[in-house]
């Protein structure tokens, strides 16, 4: 926890330092060393942002709905596969069926462990 707090404050100080560098650069008109180092990669970032903007411009209502359906389908299939694997693992365990029945509320009701009303309900659910 302490490491996260320290990293947060270091990054906060770094951002504040970069803001001061940029304001000094704008006031003086001279580019600082960070701006000069990054100027060689400006065309790469410009083309990347342009291609992302062009890709976003293709998304309208219908493509957004299709993309959302596609994403939801793949997420739900993965979640279902995890559920099926966990259920298979639990059923492979000797106590797994009893555990699943206990979760579903289908526990065994013995004559001496429940009231008459609960035994009657239990018999109806078991049938």
* pTM metric for this prediction: 0.38
Residue 17, pLDDT score: 92
In this prediction, residue 36 carries a pLDDT of 81
Confidence of residue 60 (pLDDT cuts 50, 70, 90): confident
Proportion of the chain above pLDDT 70, given as a percent = 84
In which band, very low, low, confident or very high, does the pLDDT at 69 lie, cut at 50, 70 and 90? Answer: very high
pLDDT above 90: residue 16: yes
Whole-angstrom distance, CA of residue 75 vs CA of residue 71: 6
**pLDDT > 90 in the chain, percent:** 35
């Amino acid at each position: 926890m302490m490491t996260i707090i320290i990293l947060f404050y270091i990054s906060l100080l770094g951002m504040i330092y970069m803001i001061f560098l940029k304001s000094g650069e704008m006031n003086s008109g001279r580019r600082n060393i960070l701006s000069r180092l990054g100027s060689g990669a400006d065309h790469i970032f410009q083309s990347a942002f342009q291609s992302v903007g062009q890709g976003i411009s293709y998304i309208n209502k219908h493509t957004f709905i299709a993309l959302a359906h596609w994403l939801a389908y793949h997420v739900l299939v993965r979640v279902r596969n995890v559920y099926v694997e966990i259920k298979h693992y639990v059923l492979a365990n000797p106590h797994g069926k009893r555990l699943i029945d206990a979760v579903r509320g289908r526990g065994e009701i013995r004559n001496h462990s429940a009231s008459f009303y609960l035994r009657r309900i239990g018999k109806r659910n078991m049938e």
